[in-house]
């Protein structure tokens, strides 16, 4: 199980390294997993079905596991078990290819394990941030710690195309499972130990949510803005390849978005940090609409790079806005559960939009991005309602 943290708490570099490893699998999944599906003969509708089912698995996992972490004080232990399950299930997918039903089951099982890992990691980081506030120690910069996760995604996107190209297309899944194995080992070594609840101790009492309406608006707004990425996540790489780009260029197109995302995380305190939570959420929605309008309207490489660069706002600003706003709205005893709400709602809406994206892509191609503008616009309206709610309290 994860090693014990020093009495003074976990260091920022240690937590940054933990984030780096937890996010690493995304760096190979996003650009290359859909290409693996296509390489073993799955049609667009079949790919969209997998992409739609995996967020449902993540949603269910986020409903079940983070609340358990709050009740048992077991965030680090559960993080390790989730990583192990994710790795084993993905490895199994490689051995059962190209049988669609078996691949489908393995990938869904992997998604169930992977789903709560970001929420559990956020809970661990926010627990340390809160401890430092109470102890009067130097504050923890969440944006910098979280940005380390994006660094690993960027590195794997940049070099992943070259590395994946060394193997046959059908072996791509083993590269993904290998990265997941490294992640699981890193969690074992780096995650600070949980504070165990001793026998006879009362279980933590979960605080009542004071403003559930605003919480719901924040969670749903963030989820809708994030789910507007469904088309680019599912078919972006396929479109880039159809436009004649190499695996290396596809990696760069994804990497530019992550690079700007990292810059945003590192500079988030200069933008006001938690004090500007709702402004970040709204900015995420506005830039998402602009991004999908651009992606729907051009195949020009320079403009596509620009569209990908807007990921700094469409993902990073949305993520930080949701996290910071929700942190202000819930108590310490629901820290992991609140992160699970964000991850779970994002997974569910992503599932719905991903399933729809298959027929949309088949019928309209790049025109499917127009529909993503509508999803982001709905998220914008909810974010505005949350910001303007008279019962909201910062």
Query: If you write DSSP's letter for every residue of 78-117 in order, what string do you get?
Result: HHHHHHHHHHHHHHHHHHHTT-HHHHHHHHHHHHHHHTTH
Rg of the Cα atoms in the chain: 20
Q: What is the pLDDT of residue 99?
A: 93
Interacting residues of 282 by C-beta distance below 8 A, sequence separation 6+: 321, 380, 383, 384, 387
Rounded to an integer, the average pLDDT of 182-188 is 95
Indicate if the pLDDT at residue 1 is higher than 70. no
C-alpha span between 237 and 293 (Å, rounded): 18
Distance CA 339, CA 229 (A): 20
Residue-wise pLDDT for 119-144, tens only, equals 899 888 888 887 887 788 888 888 88
Would you say residue 151 lies in a domain? yes
Tell me if 2 is assigned to some domain: no
**What total of structural domains would you count in the chain?**
1
Considering the domain boundaries, does residue 298 fall inside one?
yes
Q: Contact, 175 vs 163, CB < 8 A?
A: yes
Residue 21: domain span: 15-196+207-388
- Written as six digits, the tokens of 244 are 């004649």
* CA–CA gap between residue 384 and residue 387 (Å, rounded): 5
Domain assignment of residue 3, yes or no: no
Does 322 reside within a domain? yes
User: What pLDDT score was predicted for residue 5?
Assistant: 45
Per the domain annotation, does 6 fall within a domain? no
Local confidence band at 6 (pLDDT 50, 70, 90 cut-offs): very low
- Average pLDDT value for residue range 329-349: 74
For 283-313, what is each residue's pLDDT tens digit? 999 999 999 999 999 888 899 999 999 999 9
Residue 393, in any domain of the structure: no
Element (H, E) at 171: none
- Please give the Cα distance from 88 to 90 (Å, whole number): 6
Helix or strand or coil: residue 266? helix
Q: 6: exposed, middle or buried (C-beta count within 10 Å: 0-12, 13-18, 19+)?
A: exposed
Q: Is residue 355 part of a domain?
A: yes
Cβ atoms of residues 257 and 312 within 8 Å? yes
Supply the CATH number for residue 94's domain.
1.20.1250.20
Q: What is the pLDDT of residue 44?
A: 81
Determine if residue 272 is left, alpha or beta; phi over 0 gives left, psi from -120 to 50 gives alpha, anything else beta. Answer: left
The Cα–Cα gap between 145 and 139 comes to: 12
Show Cβ contacts of residue 359 under 8 Å, excluding neighbours closer than 6 positions: 45, 48
Q: Is the pLDDT score of 178 beyond 50?
A: yes
Q: How confident is the model at residue 274 (pLDDT cuts 50, 70, 90)?
A: low
Burial of 88 (0-12, 13-18, 19+ CB in 10 A): middle
Q: How confident is the model at residue 369 (pLDDT cuts 50, 70, 90)?
A: very high
Summarize the confidence of residues 220-229 as an average pLDDT.
94
- Residue carrying the six token digits 């760069």: 252
Other CB atoms within a 10 A radius of the CB of residue 4 amount to 10
């Amino acid at each position: 199980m994860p090693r014990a943290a020093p009495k003074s708490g976990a260091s920022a570099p240690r937590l940054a390294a933990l984030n780096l490893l937890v996010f690493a699998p995304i760096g190979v999944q996003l650009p290359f997993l859909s290409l693996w599906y296509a390489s073993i003969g799955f049609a667009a509708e079949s790919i969209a079905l997998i992409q739609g089912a995996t967020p449902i698995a993540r949603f269910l996992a986020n409903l079940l596991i983070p609340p358990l972490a709050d009740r048992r004080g077991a965030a680090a232990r559960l993080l390790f078990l989730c990583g192990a399950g994710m790795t084993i299930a993905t490895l199994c997918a490689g051995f059962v290819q190209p049988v669609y039903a078996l691949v489908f089951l393995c990938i869904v099982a992997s998604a169930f394990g992977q789903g709560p890992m970001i929420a559990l990691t956020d809970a661990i980081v926010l627990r340390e941030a809160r401890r430092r506030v109470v102890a009067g120690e130097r504050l923890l910069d969440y944006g910098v710690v979280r940005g380390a996760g994006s660094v690993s995604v960027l590195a794997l996107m940049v070099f992943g195309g070259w590395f994946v190209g060394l193997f046959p297309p059908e072996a791509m899944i083993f590269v993904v499972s290998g990265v997941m194995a490294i992640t699981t080992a890193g969690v074992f070594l780096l995650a600070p130990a949980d504070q165990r609840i001793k026998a006879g101790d009362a279980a933590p009492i979960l605080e009542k949510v004071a403003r559930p309406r605003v919480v719901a608006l924040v969670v749903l707004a963030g989820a809708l803005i994030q789910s507007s990425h469904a088309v680019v996540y599912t078919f972006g790489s396929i479109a880039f390849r159809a436009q004649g780009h190499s695996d290396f260029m596809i990696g760069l197109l994804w990497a530019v978005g992550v690079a700007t995302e990292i810059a945003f995380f590192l500079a988030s305190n200069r933008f006001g940090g938690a004090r500007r939570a709702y402004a970040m959420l709204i900015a995420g929605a506005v830039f998402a609409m602009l991004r999908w309008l651009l992606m729907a309207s051009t195949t020009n490489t320079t403009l596509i790079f620009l569209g990908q660069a807007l990921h700094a706002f469409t993902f990073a600003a949305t993520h930080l806005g949701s996290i910071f706003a929700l942190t202000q709205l819930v108590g310490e005893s629901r820290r992991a559960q609140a992160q699970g709400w964000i991850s779970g709602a994002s997974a569910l809406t992503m599932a719905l939009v991903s399933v729809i994206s298959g027929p949309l892509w088949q019928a309209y191609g790049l025109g499917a991005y127009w529909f993503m503008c509508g999803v982001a616009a709905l998220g914008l309206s909810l974010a505005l309602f949350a910001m303007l709610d008279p019962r909201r309290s910062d």
